[in-house]
Amino acid sequence: MELLAEPLDRALGLLAVRPLVALTGAGLSTDSGIPDYRGPGAPRRTPMTYQEFLSGEPAQRRYWARSYVGWSRMAFAEPNDGHRAFVDLERHGALLALITQNVDGLHTAAGSRAVIDLHGRIADAMCVRCRRRSPRADLQRRLDALNPGFLDAAGAAVEAAPDGDAELDAVGGFRLAGCADCGGALKPDVVFFGENVPRDRVALAYAAVDALLDPPGALLVAGSSLTVMSGLRFVRHAHKHGITVVIVNRGTTRGDGFAEVLVDAGCSQVLTALAGLVAGTAPFRASGAFGR
């Protein structure tokens, strides 16, 4: 990796002149009020694993009670400037595909079309028995009816968590809703820790990265610590095949050694500057725009 006095200008110079594929993480959605897992100052979190969720009703009650409270907040989250910048990049033909590790659906809500939801979307629920999918909003209404007063009892001070749940300990008495078709246990249609990403999504993401080989393009990582292999593998793949990797993230990442340039900054400002460059509406040097 090249050590540069002006990594932001260098990153923008690399990204603005070649086709792009983006890999986004939780740091992109913090400006929408959704906390991340590992950003500077983030509390230590231990999300439920897939194996724990399948262990039975006690774990499922704990998950859904927290998700029931958290959903009332995530459902109202709106795209931020970083999401809108990716829409602009796609509109101008610079962005070929957007691989997101986020489950909040904000890329699609902003208007991005070429989105690969690597870990699924929290807006859907799925039966673990019959695999039927249904809208998460419908499940929320069923849980409302089954658990009157639960939200009020939880209180407004409960801390939101990154995947649409909440930091909540008092879950006793929470009533679960089963699949409307077969009565099986419902889970959010997202990839839990310890669960494999569906092969077709992985293949689609690799194909998107491979499209950067000719003409030569760049993989832009935005707001991800790359701690889990589901995202890091695409950075390793790009680096192995000589594709330029640029990382924009607050703090270090597991993929730093594979990047040509690292920008330790917030995603919204950097991406807005990049979209402006591509559209021809922003000055090339970004130092002034960021108060440097």
Helix (H, G, I), strand (E, B) or coil at 208: helix
DSSP code of residue 248? E
Class (C level, CATH) for 1-34+79-119+197-284: alpha beta
Gap between the Cα atoms of 91 and 96, Å rounded: 10
- For the chain, helix (H) and strand (E) counts, in that order, are 10, 9
Fill in the amino acid letter for 194. Answer: G
- How many Cα atoms within 13 Å fall on the side-chain side of residue 234? 34
Highest mean pLDDT among 74-83, 167-176, 242-251: 242-251
DSSP 106-150: HHHHHT--SEEETTEEEEEEEETTT--EEEHHHHHHHHHHHSTTH
- pTM: predicted TM-score of the whole model, two decimal places: 0.88
Q: Give the integer Cα–Cα distance in Å for 278 and 268.
A: 15
Q: Which of 116-130, 166-180, 240-254 has the lowest mean pLDDT?
A: 166-180
| pLDDT(200) > 90 | yes
Range 97-103 average pLDDT = 97
Q: What average pLDDT does the chain have?
A: 88
Query: 161's torsion region: left (phi>0), alpha (psi -120 to 50) or beta?
Result: beta
How many angstroms separate the CA atoms of 9 and 210, rounded?
Answer: 26
> Long-range contacts of range 193-202, CB-CB < 8 Å, 24 or more positions apart?
193/47, 193/48, 193/49, 193/50, 193/228, 194/49, 194/50, 194/51, 195/49, 195/50, 197/118, 197/119, 197/230, 201/116, 201/117, 201/118, 202/118
pLDDT, one tens digit per residue, over 210-253 is 999 999 999 999 999 999 999 999 999 999 999 999 999 999 99
Let me know the angle formed at the C-alpha of 224 by 220 and 225, rounded to the nearest 5 degrees.
Answer: 120
Mean pLDDT throughout 125-154? 93
Say if strands 95-100 and 186-190 run parallel, antiparallel, or are unpaired.
Answer: unpaired
Q: Is 119 designated active site?
A: yes
Domain with CATH 3.40.50.1220 in the chain: 1-34+79-119+197-284
Distance CA 292, CA 290 (A): 6
Q: What is the pLDDT of residue 280?
A: 84
Whole-number CA gyration radius for the chain: 20
- From the candidates 83, 119, 237, 241, which is the catalytic residue? 119
Residue with more model confidence, 76 or 144 = 144
- 100 near 113, Cβ under 8 Å? no
